[in-house]
Structure 1
Amino acid sequence: MDYEILKFIWWLLIGVLLVGFAIMDGHDMGVGTLLPFVGKTDEERRAIINTVAPHWDGNQVWFITAGGAIFAAWPMIYASAFSGFYWAMMAVLWAMFFRPVGFDYRSKLSNPTWRKTWDWGIFVGSFIPPVIFGVAFGNLLLGVPFEYTQSLNPVYSGSFWALLNPFALLCGVVASAMVTFHGAIYLMHRTKDPIYSRAQSWMTISGLVTVVCFTLAGIWVAFGIDGYRITSVVNLAASPDPLTKEVVRETGAWLANYQRWPLIILVPVLGYVGILGALWLAKKGKTFAAFFVSALGITGVIGTAGVSMFPFMMPSSSHLASSLTVWDSSSSHFTLFVMLIAVVIFMPLIVLYTRWAYSIMRGKVTTAYIRENKHSVY
């Protein structure tokens, strides 16, 4: 298999892993975000937790796998991003610590203060990560202040607070509202009134916020942000070396791919159709279908950033030539090929196991069930 084809395949596969994380662990985080607001009593909150308790830790493996795949397939991206976004990544990890501890410890004691404290801990561990991931995507569209020396050592010149700029924060709102919307639909599917009705209200609000903010971000990208464009000839099969190309910044450059390949306009359209379609289906009570349509919406929203930036993955705002692309920051041909074989073997097994696990744990979780199982773990 040609080296450039392998590079493109791994661009797609890591996109699949990131989307899989947003869909599978995203609905868990959405449920955790809604926990203090949708659950009014301890029994209701226990019912909410039990909708995701059997699966959340398995779904989090998508995040770990995506990080590992980036390390193996795009080592230069991994090195530059995890050093430049170090404090942001640490904030994600610190926040995520609250989820497993909260799930395991909140029901150890019957003290109301103890349980409410851990409920807010679960909220923190569910709300903060998608916000920071959205902020990170926003900064990628803006460009990250880093550069490579002649010996290809990355040097980051930005700060944590500079990441919290208005456009990036808007992207954080999109990400948070999107996973909250997805989690609210899942909560509707797994519960009954009064939790169902409250989740439906939050589903409507978060769905509309997602659509409005996604639209605002798109307008901002089209008219208010300088995108990146390669002006030199690129050897698609070359070994990793970002400094061999020439790059310029231009207003509207992130829209160039839609002129070059018109069919990719279907990606942002999928985002709108998925979110609005899921909103309509959930309102009709068709929550099972709504969950899958919502997943398509998430695919469209995240995919829009990917196809708009392609082939750029981590543009540099301080030294344009240091920008990392699909073609000049990948691992060797052998590494990508061996990893592809592993994916072909194990990815179907993971998907089949996940489907089986969800089919076993299907059904409604009610407060009556919680009363009958007072001594359950969660």
Structure 2
Amino acid sequence: DPISLRSFYDGNFFGLLNPIGVMSGLLSVCMVVFHGATYLNRRTEGDVRKTAKKLVFSVGIVFLILLTVAGSLIVFYTRGYTLLSVGPSPELNILHNDVVRSAGGWFQSYFIYPWKFFGPALAYAGIFMALFATYFNWRNFAFWGSAFAIGGCIATAGFTLFPFIMPSSTNPAESLTIWNAVSSQYALNTMLYVGVVLLLIILGYKIFAYHSIWGQKPTLSEEDVEKNKHTFY
């Protein structure tokens, strides 16, 4: 709404089921399952580890395929946005963007800013690293490979959208960018203080959970879970 500056979803549920939306959802599921499988392969024993190892290979291959297909859709199918100019005070005049849409528009910025290729390169390198490390039973390297793959995928999404944060399909000129979506100094300070407190709480909980589960041995068996079911859950 250009008057109240409130955002509204313009569409229906089935509009979310577009090719790039479905592909992004499947890719996210594969990314999480792949990382979880490498972690179980690293931290468990027996049948659970064998199942996790098989899952790393099967999901990893699907992960590679979906990542490639999603990238192809972005390059050849999706109409991307290009920000040509902003108003004299972009943080105040949020509706004064000059935006054009074109096929492959999201990918064109990669040639203007070559450092953006670091994102997809890290994603592919992380997946291959995890697969090869799992094959040779280098479980720690496999886990960190999957972590790099996740970082690369998220970085690729951010690099591709930059400088957009939330593109508007209804009116591209009203898209949110890193300039017109900036918050006030008061809100930023408040979130900083709240974030510090919550971060300390989460850090304390993580240290307690890590010590409770992994303090005795680096891996878990089914017997360990049964013996400590009141502590682990």
Structure 2 residue aligned with 1:184: 37
Structure 2 residue aligned with 1:169: 22
Q: Which has the higher helix share?
A: 1
1:365 Cα deviation from its structure 2 partner? 2.1
Q: Does 1:366 align with 2:221?
A: yes
In structure 2, relative to structure 1, the CA distance for the partners of 1:359 and 1:255 (3 Å cut) is farther
- Between the aligned residues of both structures, percent identity stands at 36
Secondary structure class of the residue paired with 2:45: coil
Structure 1 segment 207-226 matched on structure 2, within 5 A: 207-226=60-79
Report the more deviating stretch, 356-365 or 177-186: 356-365
- Unaligned stretches of 5+ residues in structure 2: none
Q: How many residues align?
A: 230
Report the Cα distance in structure 2 between the residues aligned to 1:352 and 1:292, rounded to whole angstroms: 23
Structure 1 residue aligned with 2:132: 280
Q: Does 1:206 align with 2:89?
A: no
Structure 2 residue aligned with 1:23: none
1:287 Cα deviation from its structure 2 partner? 1.8
Structure 1 residue aligned with 2:103: 251
Contact 1:149 1:155 in 2 (8 A): no
Report the more deviating stretch, 242-251 or 196-205: 242-251
| Deviation string, structure 1 residues 163-200 (Cα, Å, up to 9, x no partner) | 01222111111111111111111111221121111111
Letter in 2 for 1:259: F
TM-score for both structures, normalised by structure 1: 0.55
Report the more deviating stretch, 306-315 or 152-161: 152-161
Report the more deviating stretch, 242-251 or 346-355: 346-355
1:373 Cα deviation from its structure 2 partner? 5.5
Structure 1 segment 59-208 matched on structure 2, within 5 A: 148-208=1-61
Report the Cα distance in structure 2 between the residues aligned to 1:269 and 1:213, rounded to whole angstroms: 15
In structure 2, relative to structure 1, the CA distance for the partners of 1:156 and 1:367 (3 Å cut) is closer
Letter in 2 for 1:268: P
Structure 1 residue aligned with 2:122: 270
Letter in 2 for 1:212: I
Report the Cα distance in structure 1 between the residues aligned to 2:188 and 2:60, rounded to whole angstroms: 38
Letter in 2 for 1:173: L
1:345 Cα deviation from its structure 2 partner? 7.7
In structure 2, relative to structure 1, the CA distance for the partners of 1:234 and 1:345 (3 Å cut) is farther
Flag the structure with more relative contact order, 1 or 2, with Cα contacts below 8 A and sequence separation at least 6: 1
1:374 Cα deviation from its structure 2 partner? 7.3
Secondary structure class of the residue paired with 2:100: strand
| Deviation string, structure 1 residues 101-143 (Cα, Å, up to 9, x no partner) | xxxxxxxxxxxxxxxxxxxxxxxxxxxxxxxxxxxxxxxxxxx
Letter in 1 for 2:12: S
TM-score for both structures, normalised by structure 2: 0.86
- Unaligned stretches of 5+ residues in structure 1: 1-147
